Structure 1
Amino acid sequence: MKRLFLSIFTIAAGVSIYASEPWTVERCMQYASEHSHTVRQQQFALDDSRAIKTQAIGAFLPSVYGSTSVQINFGRAINPETNTYTDISTLYNGYGLQASLTVFDGLQRYNQLRMAKANVAMGRSGIMAEKDDVALKVYKAYMDLAYCLGAIDHTSKKRDESLALLHQTEVMAEVGQKSNADVAQMRATLAADEYELTHMQSQTIKARLALQQIMNFPADSTLYIVQPSFHTEPAVTENPAQISEYAAMTNPRIVKAQQAIEAARFNLRAARGALLPSLALSGGVSTSYYKNLNNGVHASFFSQFKNNTGEYVALSLSIPLFSQLSTSSTIRRRKIALSQARENLEYEQSELHRIIVEASADVDNSTKEVFKMQEQVEADSLAAHLTTRKYEEGLASSIDVKTAAVTLLQSRVKLLQSQLTMAYNKKLLAYYKGEKLWTDQ
């Protein structure tokens, strides 16, 4: 019990230590790929496919089983020694060992094994696809949290500027340079900033919990992240057709859809094999022991066990003639499953091309937006500074100061949002170009 307590304490302490350290987006994606519930479900599906593959391999091995029986006869029965009717009570004990092997079954087992192998490969691709999907969701949630944290930073700075300007206005009002209306307006501006800061703090909590939920990170621990840095460079024109062509060969979702077609094809072949004759080889050995319960006159157990031993070998041919439409219905259903798999591949390829074209356009647009917003932030920053100077000189009203400050805050927040959107779009496009979402740390 003491060791268990220490282990639990160590784990809890480890989670607390990890939670107190800032996490990079790559570390978050790697953690999610190892702890996500959906990834674990895919792993269970892969384990099940491996078990089915083992079962398919075992179908090629012979079946061996033993049997024993005990029978007591009262009244009229056949005497095993004389093979005539008798009315005495007897005890009969039989033993048998049989083996059977399917020699030919229309290649059903062969195709089922190939289908099982395809399902295992499809399970591996499914895990890779699920890890990538979870990683992209983590990246998006990470950017959302970074946006909230950045918005808090900008709002806090504006709140501090409003607080300083309120103190300045109160001092100027005492000497008669500003009116009480200006003081009231500045207090209203400060109250609005306080509300906006509280609102963004609430949104940050929600964004952090959303990220931790996707990662399957302990909800009772606070996850701190590293605020991403941005290097704005002119967008390089990408060719969506070339990216789609490369992604169609490497993307795990496309590979999984292709493997699903292969598995459905082998499944159909296995169903068609049921229309062919099957050939089975079997053999066995048996012996018995007989005892007269009335007078007790009988040979010993060991002598009977040896003398009554018999062997047999059998070869059986089974030709299917009519199976109540079961085989034909199975074949039809598996044809439909094959058609569905092919249709799913076409859908995945079409959806992949659409996403790549959209991501390529988003990279170009978001990069342009970042450059435009940087120019707007510089202009709004200069306008807010000049408006504040005019206010101090009595050439602008408190409403003008508030309007300029709000405009600057909005521009800074929009710039941050554009930078985060640009980073996500570039990451998404790089992923489809073959770049890893994260590297093992």
Structure 2
Amino acid sequence: MMKHLLLIIYVIAAALPLSASEPWTVERCMQYAADHSHGVRQQQFALEDSRAAKTQAIGAFLPSVYGSVDGQMNFGRAIDPSTNTYTDVSTLYNGYGLQASLVVFDGLQRYNNLRLAKANEAMGRSGVRAEKDDVALKVYKAYMDLVYCEGAVSQTAKKRDESRELLRQTSVMAEVGQKSDADVAQMRATLAADEYELAHMQSQTTKARLALKQLMGLPVDSALAVIQPSFDDEILTAEDASQISAFAATDNPRIFMAQQNVEAARYSLRAARGALLPTISLSGGVSTSFFRNMDKGGHASFSSQFRNNAGEYVGLSLSIPLFDRLASYSTIRRRKTALVQAQENLAYEQSELRRIIVEAASDVANSTKEVEKMQEQVEADSIASRLTTRKYEEGLASSIDVKTAAVTLLQSRVRLLQSQLTMAYNKKLLAYYKGEKLWTDL
């Protein structure tokens, strides 16, 4: 029984690391980054701040209510609250009040500030979405870099194994006099170069994996295994790029941010102009008091004084700005400049978006053609490398010829992988501008 229990525990313990090290797809990495990235969290904090500012702008329409309590001890000559005449006895005085005030008109400053706060909140939401999109695309690129490094490691390791086998064959052939010691030395040098290149690419892979974890917000000590994505050869035309540009102009979060920034600047300018208009305020309150003579008794009770001394008031005030040392005019001028700047930024973002989409469409078409040509080159270099190795075994080619052919094949395979990954990234970028979601709200 104990043996069976230990066996079950062992199987469970062995299965846990396998589950933890399950390969991550690029979609899973992008989703994780959208939920855990440091930059995304910073944008979410900014959004919360804009929501608090909107709540404050709404509260500006509500009346202000204040309660007050004060106490005072008079010594020597003072006014007697009961007779309203001077006296020279010590008196204790308490006052209680409740006041409320409401701004009736302020040149629509509160209204425009509320619209400004709403525009800032909408801009904050677009900022979160834009940051998630940006980090998702960066993660996709970093994922492709890691896949490239791992592919280069695999190809280099394969070449290293081939060089090791060729060195063994050359050593055997040198013992029977078919190859010289120079050929053996050359093969050893080739193997050493392959091992160095393999160690270098393994180091680059480690760095690429750390860079991907940092972008994702994944702990550096976490396991992260990736899988190579699939590739397709669909080519988009120039007409597709123009249609994508028209769609992205109404869907891209950075365009939304620029548009909301223009709206925010416009309402900010209107609020500044409202400061030049009069302000009308309504106020009212109740107050009461209690006093006692500290040198002699005979004062009324607290409850009777609290009731009998109670009074109410209501007031309406009009404040007309006449001169504030040009502060209002300077603010208006600055906010006019901010509005023009926001409009210019919107125009730039729209122009930049069109440029990026046209460039991305061109990159997709070009990278797809590059993949086709590199596939042909890899096939040709593979045949050349096999023939050169066979000639070397037959004594018709030198070790340098074998090395050159093997290096050429390795470079072609690595360049093919790089071209495929570049093509995949360009297509993902273009699909994003077409409206494809990089992440989903959980």
Distance 1:343-1:19 versus aligned 2 partners, 3 A rule? farther
Q: Equivalents in 2 of 1:133, 1:285: separation in Å?
A: 58
Distance 1:163-1:368 versus aligned 2 partners, 3 A rule? same
Q: CA deviation at 1:140?
A: 0.5
Q: CA deviation at 1:19?
A: 4.9
Q: CA deviation at 1:222?
A: 2.9
Query: What residue in structure 2 maps to residue 222 of structure 1?
Result: 223
Q: Specify the SS of the correspondent of 1:250.
A: coil
1:82-121 equivalences in 2 (<5 Å) = 82-121=83-122
1:2-13 equivalences in 2 (<5 Å) = none
Q: CA deviation at 1:239?
A: 3.6
Query: What residue in structure 2 maps to residue 26 of structure 1?
Result: 27
Q: Equivalents in 2 of 1:282, 1:150: separation in Å?
A: 76
Q: Equivalents in 1 of 2:164, 2:129: separation in Å?
A: 52
Q: CA RMSD in A?
A: 1.7
Query: What residue in structure 2 maps to residue 244 of structure 1?
Result: 245
Query: What residue in structure 2 maps to residue 262 of structure 1?
Result: 263
Query: What residue in structure 2 maps to residue 350 of structure 1?
Result: 351
Ranges of 4+ aligned residues in structure 1 off by more than 4 Å: 13-19, 234-238
Q: CA deviation at 1:18?
A: 6.4
Q: Equivalents in 2 of 1:408, 1:17: separation in Å?
A: 35
Distance 1:120-1:158 versus aligned 2 partners, 3 A rule? same
Q: CA deviation at 1:136?
A: 0.5
Q: Specify the SS of the correspondent of 1:296.
A: coil
Q: Specify the SS of the correspondent of 1:158.
A: helix
Q: CA deviation at 1:16?
A: 6.5
1:256-307 CA distance string (max 9 Å, x none): 1100111111111111111111111111111111211111121111111111
**Residues 288, 307 of structure 2: 8 Å contact kept:** yes
Residue type of the alignment partner of 2:69: T
Query: What residue in structure 2 maps to residue 212 of structure 1?
Result: 213
Query: What residue in structure 2 maps to residue 414 of structure 1?
Result: 415
Q: Equivalents in 2 of 1:116, 1:382: separation in Å?
A: 67
| Residue 147, structure 1, aligned to residue 148, structure 2 | yes
Q: Equivalents in 2 of 1:194, 1:234: separation in Å?
A: 39
- Of the structure 1 ranges 362-371 and 341-350, higher mean CA displacement relative to structure 2 is found in 341-350
Residue type of the alignment partner of 2:395: G
Q: Equivalents in 1 of 2:132, 2:44: separation in Å?
A: 11
1:378-393 equivalences in 2 (<5 Å) = 378-393=379-394
Instruction: Figure out how many residues of one structure are paired with residues of the other and give that number.
Output: 429
Q: Equivalents in 2 of 1:81, 1:165: separation in Å?
A: 118
**Residues 284, 313 of structure 1: 8 Å contact kept:** yes
**Residues 236, 361 of structure 2: 8 Å contact kept:** no
Query: What residue in structure 2 maps to residue 275 of structure 1?
Result: 276
Q: Specify the SS of the correspondent of 2:218.
A: coil
Residue type of the alignment partner of 1:21: E
Query: What residue in structure 2 maps to residue 199 of structure 1?
Result: 200
1:298-313 equivalences in 2 (<5 Å) = 298-313=299-314
Q: Equivalents in 2 of 1:313, 1:242: separation in Å?
A: 64
Q: Equivalents in 2 of 1:306, 1:17: separation in Å?
A: 80
Q: Equivalents in 2 of 1:156, 1:394: separation in Å?
A: 26
Q: Specify the SS of the correspondent of 1:240.
A: helix
Q: Specify the SS of the correspondent of 1:113.
A: helix
Q: CA deviation at 1:231?
A: 2.5
Q: Equivalents in 2 of 1:287, 1:418: separation in Å?
A: 85
TM-score, normalization: structure 1? 0.94
Q: CA deviation at 1:110?
A: 0.6
Query: What residue in structure 1 maps to residue 424 of structure 2?
Result: 423
Q: CA deviation at 1:438?
A: 3.8
Query: What residue in structure 2 maps to residue 288 of structure 1?
Result: 289
**Residues 240, 357 of structure 1: 8 Å contact kept:** yes
Q: Specify the SS of the correspondent of 2:249.
A: helix
Q: Specify the SS of the correspondent of 1:219.
A: coil
**Residues 254, 349 of structure 1: 8 Å contact kept:** yes
Q: Equivalents in 2 of 1:34, 1:281: separation in Å?
A: 49
| Residue 124, structure 1, aligned to residue 99, structure 2 | no
Q: Specify the SS of the correspondent of 1:61.
A: coil
1:359-380 CA distance string (max 9 Å, x none): 1111111111000000000111
Residue type of the alignment partner of 1:149: E
- Of the structure 1 ranges 63-72 and 238-247, higher mean CA displacement relative to structure 2 is found in 238-247
Q: CA deviation at 1:433?
A: 1.1
Query: What residue in structure 2 maps to residue 9 of structure 1?
Result: none
Q: Specify the SS of the correspondent of 1:287.
A: strand
1:159-198 equivalences in 2 (<5 Å) = 159-198=160-199
**Residues 103, 280 of structure 1: 8 Å contact kept:** yes
Distance 1:238-1:19 versus aligned 2 partners, 3 A rule? farther
Distance 1:99-1:15 versus aligned 2 partners, 3 A rule? farther
Q: Specify the SS of the correspondent of 1:249.
A: coil
Q: Equivalents in 2 of 1:334, 1:14: separation in Å?
A: 63
- Of the structure 1 ranges 413-422 and 176-185, higher mean CA displacement relative to structure 2 is found in 176-185
Q: Specify the SS of the correspondent of 2:307.
A: helix
Distance 1:18-1:327 versus aligned 2 partners, 3 A rule? farther
**Residues 15, 221 of structure 1: 8 Å contact kept:** no
Q: CA deviation at 1:232?
A: 2.8
Query: What residue in structure 2 maps to residue 158 of structure 1?
Result: 159
Query: What residue in structure 1 maps to residue 6 of structure 2?
Result: none
Report percent identity of matched pairs: 77
Distance 1:172-1:369 versus aligned 2 partners, 3 A rule? same
**Residues 391, 397 of structure 2: 8 Å contact kept:** yes
| Residue 138, structure 1, aligned to residue 153, structure 2 | no
Distance 1:240-1:326 versus aligned 2 partners, 3 A rule? same
Runs of 5+ consecutive residues of structure 1 not aligned to the other structure: 1-12
Q: Specify the SS of the correspondent of 1:396.
A: coil
Runs of 5+ consecutive residues of structure 2 not aligned to the other structure: 1-13
TM-score, normalization: structure 2? 0.94
1:179-235 CA distance string (max 9 Å, x none): 111111111111111111111000000000010111111011231111222223445
